[in-house]
Amino acid sequence: MKNILKNLYHRYRKDEKNFGSFKIDQHIIIFDSDDWGCQRIHGRDEKNFLSSYPGFRPHDPFEDGDVLETSKDFENLSHLLLSFKDSAGRHPIFTLNYVVNNLKYSSDSLVKKEGAFQFESLTNTYVRMGVPFIWDSSSSFNNPKVFAFSLHAFAHLNQTRFLNDISSNSNGAKDFYNNGVTASTDPTAFFCYMDEMGGGKQSVSSDLSVLSKAINQFSSIFGERSLSFTPSCGVIEKSAIKKICTLGNFRCLKISDGFYRSWGGSHYSKHPFRTGQKIPGTKTRFLCRNCDFEPIFSNDQAVELCLNDINNAFSKKKPAIISTHRMNYVCGFDEKSYLKRMAMLSDLLSRILSQYPDAVFMSSDEFILRFF
Protein backbone atom coordinates (compact mmCIF):
# COMPACT_ATOMS: atom_id res chain seq x y z
CA MET A 1 0.00 0.00 0.00
CA LYS A 2 2.85 2.38 0.85
CA ASN A 3 4.45 1.88 -2.58
CA ILE A 4 1.10 2.32 -4.32
CA LEU A 5 0.52 5.63 -2.55
CA LYS A 6 4.08 6.72 -3.32
CA ASN A 7 3.64 5.93 -7.01
CA LEU A 8 0.32 7.77 -7.11
CA TYR A 9 1.94 10.80 -5.51
CA HIS A 10 4.77 10.87 -8.06
CA ARG A 11 2.27 10.43 -10.88
CA TYR A 12 0.26 13.36 -9.52
CA ARG A 13 3.42 15.47 -9.31
CA LYS A 14 4.17 14.69 -12.93
CA ASP A 15 0.61 15.48 -14.02
CA GLU A 16 0.55 18.66 -11.95
CA LYS A 17 3.24 20.19 -14.16
CA ASN A 18 0.69 20.22 -16.96
CA PHE A 19 -2.21 21.78 -15.07
CA GLY A 20 -3.45 25.26 -15.95
CA SER A 21 -5.50 26.94 -18.64
CA PHE A 22 -2.71 27.62 -21.16
CA LYS A 23 -3.03 25.16 -24.05
CA ILE A 24 -1.45 24.80 -27.46
CA ASP A 25 -2.06 22.38 -30.33
CA GLN A 26 1.50 22.40 -31.71
CA HIS A 27 4.05 19.79 -30.63
CA ILE A 28 6.72 22.21 -29.42
CA ILE A 29 10.03 20.91 -28.05
CA ILE A 30 12.20 23.19 -25.88
CA PHE A 31 15.51 22.17 -24.30
CA ASP A 32 16.26 24.32 -21.25
CA SER A 33 19.70 23.62 -19.77
CA ASP A 34 21.14 24.94 -16.49
CA ASP A 35 24.62 25.65 -15.05
CA TRP A 36 26.60 26.74 -18.11
CA GLY A 37 29.63 28.82 -17.19
CA CYS A 38 29.76 27.44 -13.65
CA GLN A 39 33.10 25.94 -12.56
CA ARG A 40 32.33 23.85 -9.49
CA ILE A 41 35.28 21.45 -9.75
CA HIS A 42 38.53 22.75 -11.24
CA GLY A 43 40.26 19.44 -11.83
CA ARG A 44 41.09 15.94 -10.72
CA ASP A 45 43.11 17.12 -7.70
CA GLU A 46 40.02 18.72 -6.21
CA LYS A 47 37.92 15.66 -7.01
CA ASN A 48 40.48 13.41 -5.32
CA PHE A 49 40.53 15.71 -2.28
CA LEU A 50 36.76 15.40 -1.96
CA SER A 51 36.78 11.62 -2.33
CA SER A 52 39.32 11.26 0.47
CA TYR A 53 37.82 13.81 2.86
CA PRO A 54 36.43 12.16 6.05
CA GLY A 55 32.66 12.33 6.23
CA PHE A 56 32.09 13.73 2.76
CA ARG A 57 29.42 11.93 0.77
CA PRO A 58 28.19 13.67 -2.38
CA HIS A 59 24.42 14.19 -2.48
CA ASP A 60 24.52 14.12 -6.28
CA PRO A 61 27.07 14.25 -9.16
CA PHE A 62 27.15 18.07 -9.10
CA GLU A 63 29.24 18.16 -5.94
CA ASP A 64 32.26 16.15 -7.04
CA GLY A 65 32.16 15.91 -10.83
CA ASP A 66 30.63 19.04 -12.36
CA VAL A 67 33.44 20.64 -14.38
CA LEU A 68 33.42 23.59 -16.78
CA GLU A 69 32.42 22.97 -20.38
CA THR A 70 35.23 22.94 -22.95
CA SER A 71 35.59 23.92 -26.60
CA LYS A 72 35.39 20.22 -27.50
CA ASP A 73 32.16 19.81 -25.52
CA PHE A 74 30.57 22.68 -27.46
CA GLU A 75 31.86 21.30 -30.74
CA ASN A 76 30.41 17.84 -30.08
CA LEU A 77 27.04 19.11 -28.86
CA SER A 78 26.73 21.56 -31.76
CA HIS A 79 27.60 18.83 -34.27
CA LEU A 80 25.00 16.49 -32.79
CA LEU A 81 22.23 19.12 -32.79
CA LEU A 82 23.02 20.11 -36.39
CA SER A 83 22.45 16.52 -37.48
CA PHE A 84 18.71 16.81 -36.70
CA LYS A 85 15.97 18.96 -38.24
CA ASP A 86 12.26 19.33 -37.69
CA SER A 87 9.76 19.41 -40.55
CA ALA A 88 10.44 23.13 -41.07
CA GLY A 89 14.19 22.54 -41.30
CA ARG A 90 14.94 23.93 -37.83
CA HIS A 91 17.62 22.31 -35.70
CA PRO A 92 17.07 21.53 -32.01
CA ILE A 93 18.01 24.57 -29.91
CA PHE A 94 19.47 24.38 -26.43
CA THR A 95 18.73 27.38 -24.23
CA LEU A 96 21.86 27.63 -22.07
CA ASN A 97 21.07 29.18 -18.70
CA TYR A 98 24.30 30.90 -17.68
CA VAL A 99 26.09 31.60 -14.42
CA VAL A 100 28.03 34.86 -14.92
CA ASN A 101 30.66 34.55 -12.16
CA ASN A 102 32.78 31.92 -10.44
CA LEU A 103 34.16 31.92 -6.92
CA LYS A 104 37.85 32.82 -6.61
CA TYR A 105 39.37 30.68 -3.87
CA SER A 106 41.97 32.46 -1.73
CA SER A 107 42.22 31.68 1.99
CA ASP A 108 39.66 31.54 4.75
CA SER A 109 41.60 34.16 6.75
CA LEU A 110 41.33 36.70 3.91
CA VAL A 111 37.65 35.95 3.44
CA LYS A 112 36.94 36.39 7.14
CA LYS A 113 38.99 39.61 7.23
CA GLU A 114 37.13 41.14 4.28
CA GLY A 115 33.80 39.54 5.17
CA ALA A 116 33.14 38.69 1.54
CA PHE A 117 34.16 36.44 -1.32
CA GLN A 118 35.97 37.44 -4.50
CA PHE A 119 34.65 36.41 -7.90
CA GLU A 120 35.92 35.92 -11.45
CA SER A 121 33.66 36.94 -14.33
CA LEU A 122 32.41 34.39 -16.84
CA THR A 123 34.47 35.96 -19.63
CA ASN A 124 37.66 35.80 -17.56
CA THR A 125 36.93 32.17 -16.67
CA TYR A 126 36.47 31.32 -20.34
CA VAL A 127 39.68 33.12 -21.31
CA ARG A 128 41.64 31.39 -18.55
CA MET A 129 40.30 27.97 -19.55
CA GLY A 130 40.46 28.50 -23.32
CA VAL A 131 36.69 28.22 -23.87
CA PRO A 132 35.30 30.15 -26.87
CA PHE A 133 32.68 32.87 -26.50
CA ILE A 134 29.97 30.92 -28.30
CA TRP A 135 27.56 33.86 -28.05
CA ASP A 136 29.78 35.89 -30.42
CA SER A 137 28.33 36.16 -33.91
CA SER A 138 31.61 34.83 -35.30
CA SER A 139 31.40 31.58 -33.31
CA SER A 140 31.38 28.56 -35.59
CA PHE A 141 29.70 26.49 -32.87
CA ASN A 142 26.48 28.50 -33.12
CA ASN A 143 26.12 29.04 -36.85
CA PRO A 144 23.50 27.83 -37.77
CA LYS A 145 21.95 28.66 -34.42
CA VAL A 146 21.65 25.75 -31.99
CA PHE A 147 22.28 27.69 -28.75
CA ALA A 148 20.32 30.48 -27.08
CA PHE A 149 21.22 32.19 -23.80
CA SER A 150 19.46 33.10 -20.57
CA LEU A 151 20.32 34.12 -16.99
CA HIS A 152 20.64 31.47 -14.30
CA ALA A 153 22.67 32.97 -11.45
CA PHE A 154 25.34 35.38 -10.31
CA ALA A 155 27.60 32.55 -9.06
CA HIS A 156 25.22 29.68 -8.17
CA LEU A 157 26.35 30.13 -4.57
CA ASN A 158 24.56 30.93 -1.32
CA GLN A 159 27.25 33.32 -0.15
CA THR A 160 25.79 33.96 3.29
CA ARG A 161 25.53 30.32 4.32
CA PHE A 162 28.92 29.29 2.92
CA LEU A 163 30.63 32.31 4.49
CA ASN A 164 29.02 31.58 7.87
CA ASP A 165 30.13 27.94 7.77
CA ILE A 166 33.67 28.94 6.83
CA SER A 167 33.81 31.44 9.70
CA SER A 168 32.52 28.89 12.23
CA ASN A 169 34.40 26.00 10.61
CA SER A 170 31.14 24.06 10.29
CA ASN A 171 30.52 21.07 8.02
CA GLY A 172 34.12 21.08 6.77
CA ALA A 173 33.49 24.35 4.89
CA LYS A 174 36.85 25.95 5.78
CA ASP A 175 38.83 22.90 4.62
CA PHE A 176 36.83 22.65 1.44
CA TYR A 177 37.24 26.34 0.60
CA ASN A 178 40.98 26.29 1.31
CA ASN A 179 41.30 23.39 -1.11
CA GLY A 180 39.34 25.05 -3.91
CA VAL A 181 35.95 23.34 -3.64
CA THR A 182 32.46 24.23 -2.45
CA ALA A 183 31.18 21.28 -0.45
CA SER A 184 29.66 20.24 2.87
CA THR A 185 29.70 17.24 5.19
CA ASP A 186 26.17 18.05 6.34
CA PRO A 187 24.04 15.08 5.17
CA THR A 188 20.92 17.29 5.13
CA ALA A 189 22.47 20.01 2.93
CA PHE A 190 20.93 18.77 -0.29
CA PHE A 191 21.68 21.92 -2.27
CA CYS A 192 25.18 22.24 -0.81
CA TYR A 193 25.32 26.07 -0.92
CA MET A 194 24.10 26.09 -4.54
CA ASP A 195 20.72 27.71 -3.78
CA GLU A 196 21.84 31.28 -4.44
CA MET A 197 18.55 32.91 -3.44
CA GLY A 198 17.75 30.59 -0.53
CA GLY A 199 18.46 32.99 2.30
CA GLY A 200 14.84 33.64 3.25
CA LYS A 201 13.07 36.86 4.15
CA GLN A 202 16.02 38.11 6.18
CA SER A 203 18.26 38.28 3.09
CA VAL A 204 15.87 39.48 0.38
CA SER A 205 17.70 42.82 0.01
CA SER A 206 21.11 41.16 -0.38
CA ASP A 207 19.66 38.58 -2.79
CA LEU A 208 18.23 41.40 -4.92
CA SER A 209 21.56 43.21 -4.86
CA VAL A 210 23.36 40.09 -6.12
CA LEU A 211 20.71 39.50 -8.79
CA SER A 212 20.97 43.12 -9.95
CA LYS A 213 24.70 42.64 -10.56
CA ALA A 214 24.01 39.41 -12.45
CA ILE A 215 21.39 41.09 -14.66
CA ASN A 216 23.80 43.87 -15.60
CA GLN A 217 26.68 41.46 -16.21
CA PHE A 218 24.54 39.24 -18.43
CA SER A 219 23.55 42.24 -20.56
CA SER A 220 27.19 43.35 -20.81
CA ILE A 221 28.45 39.89 -21.80
CA PHE A 222 25.70 38.79 -24.17
CA GLY A 223 24.79 42.19 -25.59
CA GLU A 224 21.13 41.99 -24.57
CA ARG A 225 19.07 41.55 -21.47
CA SER A 226 17.80 38.14 -20.46
CA LEU A 227 14.08 37.71 -21.15
CA SER A 228 13.80 35.07 -18.44
CA PHE A 229 15.36 34.00 -15.17
CA THR A 230 15.90 30.50 -13.80
CA PRO A 231 16.72 30.69 -10.06
CA SER A 232 19.39 28.23 -9.00
CA CYS A 233 17.97 25.01 -7.53
CA GLY A 234 14.47 26.41 -8.12
CA VAL A 235 14.75 28.16 -4.75
CA ILE A 236 13.35 31.63 -4.36
CA GLU A 237 11.82 33.54 -1.47
CA LYS A 238 8.09 33.88 -2.08
CA SER A 239 7.92 37.43 -0.73
CA ALA A 240 10.61 38.56 -3.20
CA ILE A 241 9.10 37.26 -6.43
CA LYS A 242 7.40 40.50 -7.50
CA LYS A 243 10.58 42.50 -6.79
CA ILE A 244 12.71 39.99 -8.71
CA CYS A 245 10.47 40.10 -11.77
CA THR A 246 10.34 43.90 -11.73
CA LEU A 247 14.09 44.26 -11.17
CA GLY A 248 14.96 42.24 -14.25
CA ASN A 249 11.91 43.20 -16.31
CA PHE A 250 11.68 39.47 -16.97
CA ARG A 251 9.06 38.10 -19.33
CA CYS A 252 9.22 34.67 -17.69
CA LEU A 253 10.32 32.97 -14.49
CA LYS A 254 11.44 29.42 -15.31
CA ILE A 255 11.52 26.67 -12.70
CA SER A 256 11.97 22.96 -13.28
CA ASP A 257 9.60 20.99 -11.15
CA GLY A 258 6.35 22.92 -11.11
CA PHE A 259 7.14 24.61 -7.81
CA TYR A 260 9.13 27.50 -6.53
CA ARG A 261 10.54 26.93 -3.09
CA SER A 262 10.89 29.50 -0.36
CA TRP A 263 13.36 29.20 2.48
CA GLY A 264 11.56 28.90 5.79
CA GLY A 265 14.28 28.59 8.39
CA SER A 266 15.31 24.95 8.32
CA HIS A 267 13.10 23.72 5.50
CA TYR A 268 11.78 24.58 2.05
CA SER A 269 8.11 25.05 1.41
CA LYS A 270 6.68 24.33 -2.03
CA HIS A 271 4.24 26.43 -3.98
CA PRO A 272 2.63 25.16 -7.22
CA PHE A 273 2.37 27.27 -10.35
CA ARG A 274 1.29 26.78 -13.97
CA THR A 275 2.83 27.58 -17.37
CA GLY A 276 1.36 30.85 -18.62
CA GLN A 277 0.17 31.90 -15.17
CA LYS A 278 0.79 35.61 -14.63
CA ILE A 279 2.61 36.74 -11.50
CA PRO A 280 0.38 39.32 -9.78
CA GLY A 281 1.55 42.92 -10.09
CA THR A 282 4.05 42.15 -12.86
CA LYS A 283 4.24 41.47 -16.59
CA THR A 284 6.00 38.19 -15.86
CA ARG A 285 4.60 34.71 -16.39
CA PHE A 286 5.66 31.33 -15.12
CA LEU A 287 7.17 28.76 -17.48
CA CYS A 288 7.01 25.26 -16.03
CA ARG A 289 9.65 22.82 -17.24
CA ASN A 290 7.47 19.74 -17.43
CA CYS A 291 9.93 17.16 -18.82
CA ASP A 292 13.28 15.87 -17.58
CA PHE A 293 16.25 14.51 -19.49
CA GLU A 294 19.06 13.71 -17.06
CA PRO A 295 21.16 10.72 -18.19
CA ILE A 296 23.69 11.56 -15.48
CA PHE A 297 21.03 10.64 -12.89
CA SER A 298 18.70 8.14 -14.51
CA ASN A 299 21.25 6.03 -16.38
CA ASP A 300 19.62 3.76 -18.98
CA GLN A 301 16.09 5.03 -18.34
CA ALA A 302 16.63 8.68 -19.30
CA VAL A 303 15.28 8.45 -22.85
CA GLU A 304 12.16 6.49 -21.90
CA LEU A 305 11.44 8.72 -18.92
CA CYS A 306 11.74 11.87 -21.04
CA LEU A 307 9.54 10.45 -23.81
CA ASN A 308 6.90 9.62 -21.21
CA ASP A 309 7.07 13.22 -19.99
CA ILE A 310 6.77 14.53 -23.55
CA ASN A 311 3.79 12.29 -24.30
CA ASN A 312 2.12 13.45 -21.10
CA ALA A 313 2.73 17.12 -21.95
CA PHE A 314 1.37 16.79 -25.48
CA SER A 315 -1.67 14.86 -24.28
CA LYS A 316 -2.49 17.87 -22.07
CA LYS A 317 -1.85 20.31 -24.97
CA LYS A 318 1.29 21.74 -23.38
CA PRO A 319 4.70 22.43 -24.89
CA ALA A 320 7.38 19.90 -23.91
CA ILE A 321 9.88 22.00 -21.95
CA ILE A 322 12.80 19.72 -21.16
CA SER A 323 14.93 20.43 -18.11
CA THR A 324 18.45 19.13 -18.66
CA HIS A 325 21.70 20.08 -16.92
CA ARG A 326 25.04 21.06 -18.43
CA MET A 327 26.72 18.14 -16.70
CA ASN A 328 25.07 15.69 -19.12
CA TYR A 329 26.98 17.18 -22.07
CA VAL A 330 30.44 17.70 -20.55
CA CYS A 331 33.09 15.00 -20.81
CA GLY A 332 34.75 15.80 -17.49
CA PHE A 333 36.37 12.82 -15.77
CA ASP A 334 34.47 9.97 -17.44
CA GLU A 335 34.69 9.78 -21.23
CA LYS A 336 32.87 6.43 -21.42
CA SER A 337 29.85 7.83 -19.57
CA TYR A 338 30.01 11.02 -21.64
CA LEU A 339 29.84 9.16 -24.93
CA LYS A 340 26.91 7.15 -23.64
CA ARG A 341 25.07 10.32 -22.57
CA MET A 342 25.59 11.94 -25.95
CA ALA A 343 24.33 8.80 -27.69
CA MET A 344 21.22 8.96 -25.49
CA LEU A 345 20.57 12.55 -26.57
CA SER A 346 20.84 11.44 -30.20
CA ASP A 347 18.43 8.58 -29.51
CA LEU A 348 15.98 10.93 -27.80
CA LEU A 349 15.95 13.34 -30.74
CA SER A 350 15.52 10.50 -33.23
CA ARG A 351 12.58 9.09 -31.34
CA ILE A 352 10.93 12.48 -30.87
CA LEU A 353 11.01 13.11 -34.62
CA SER A 354 9.86 9.56 -35.36
CA GLN A 355 6.95 9.74 -32.95
CA TYR A 356 6.06 13.38 -33.69
CA PRO A 357 7.00 14.21 -37.32
CA ASP A 358 5.35 17.63 -36.87
CA ALA A 359 7.47 18.49 -33.82
CA VAL A 360 8.75 22.09 -33.72
CA PHE A 361 12.07 22.97 -32.08
CA MET A 362 12.23 26.33 -30.28
CA SER A 363 14.34 28.12 -27.72
CA SER A 364 12.57 29.21 -24.55
CA ASP A 365 12.92 32.87 -25.63
CA GLU A 366 11.25 32.15 -28.98
CA PHE A 367 8.38 30.48 -27.18
CA ILE A 368 8.05 33.36 -24.71
CA LEU A 369 7.99 35.99 -27.46
CA ARG A 370 5.51 34.09 -29.58
CA PHE A 371 2.98 33.06 -26.94
CA PHE A 372 3.44 35.38 -23.96
Return d(Cα 3, Cα 189) in angstroms, integer: 26
Calculate mean pLDDT across residues 210-236: 95
Return d(Cα 342, Cα 83) in angstroms, integer: 13
Residue 41 per-residue DSSP state: B
**pLDDT 10s digits, 314-341:** 999 999 999 999 999 999 999 999 999 9
Closest CA to 309 of 10, 9, 85, 4: 10
**C-alpha angle 305-60-362 in degrees, rounded to nearest 5:** 45
Return d(Cα 9, Cα 326) in angstroms, integer: 28
Residue 7 clears pLDDT 70, i.e. is over it: no
- Domains belonging to the chain, first-starting first, are 26-371 (3.20.20)
Grade residue 298 by pLDDT with cuts at 50, 70 and 90. Answer: confident
For 220, list phi and psi in degrees, rounded to 5.
-65, -40
Judge contact between 151 and 164, C-beta under 8 A: no
Instruction: Please state, rounded to an integer, the average pLDDT across all residues of the chain.
Output: 89
Residue 260 clears pLDDT 70, i.e. is over it: no
pLDDT for 200 equals: 66
Return d(Cα 47, Cα 40) in angstroms, integer: 10
Residue 14 clears pLDDT 50, i.e. is over it: yes
Query: Residue 7 burial by CB count (10 A; 0-12/13-18/19+): exposed, middle or buried?
Result: exposed
**pLDDT 10s digits, 23-51:** 999 999 999 999 999 999 888 999 999 98
Calculate mean pLDDT across residues 309-316: 96
Calculate mean pLDDT across residues 257-285: 75
Query: Which residue would you say has higher pLDDT here, 1 or 245?
Result: 245
Residue 6 clears pLDDT 50, i.e. is over it: no
pLDDT for 284 equals: 96
**pLDDT 10s digits, 117-165:** 999 999 999 999 999 999 998 888 888 899 999 999 999 999 988 998 9
**C-alpha angle 348-353-358 in degrees, rounded to nearest 5:** 145
Query: Residue 251 burial by CB count (10 A; 0-12/13-18/19+): exposed, middle or buried?
Result: buried
